Amino acid sequence: MSSPAKFRARSDAELQALDDDALIDYICASRDAGEFAATRRAVQILTWGLMSTITARMRVRVPTEYVEEAAMEAFEKAARGSFRGESIGQFRAWCTAIINGTANDVLRRHYRERAALGVVGSLDDGSLHEESRVASESGAVELGLVAQEVLARMNDEHRIVIELHVFEGLTAPEVCEQLDGMSPDNVAQIASRFRKRMREALDDGT
């Protein structure tokens, strides 16, 4: 019986040349070998490869001016985090949880800042326009918070469906290509339930 191959740490250049599945295999192998510095570096590189996706998901969660801050904060949390899964699907779900939590943190932080700031001045110095702008942005923050609360009550697979179909605009067949066992009808039903829960949550808040 042959002994298992000894783990070999790879350079950044080698890691960057690997596809997502190969990176996941490397992460699992380094973790099993107790080479946690190598694991963390591979997680960082894999997460950085998903930055365009992370940024796109933040665009539908937070006002435009917070997107870059929120995306980088999510990346930093993932880079410092401990991924325990064994597949790219599990990694994406893990990143989704970090994205959701980070977006919620950023929304609440800036909402508190705006609430404390207020708007002062006379109507002839442009403050009326500024008040309207702040009110509009606060509304966007509140809408984002409601979306996060609704998403938090859904299971991981359904959250990914909403991420891809509702937020990123993928068609139902395109979503099914990324999720085993999912059908276009399932995608439509999940999206419909999400929109219904959003309407109910917003109505309850009025």
What domains can you pick out in the chain, each with its CATH number?
A: 153-206 (1.10.10)
Query: Can you give the pLDDT at residue 195?
Result: 86
Residue 61's pLDDT is what? Answer: 77
Residue type, 159: R
pLDDT of res. 30: 94
CB neighbour burial string for 99-114, b if at least 16 within 10 angstroms, e if fewer: bbebbbebbeebbeee
pLDDT in the model for residue 177: 84
pLDDT of residue 170: 79
**pLDDT block averages, 10 residues each, the chain of length 206:** 69 93 94 93 93 85 85 92 87 86 83 57 35 46 72 83 79 85 92 87 67
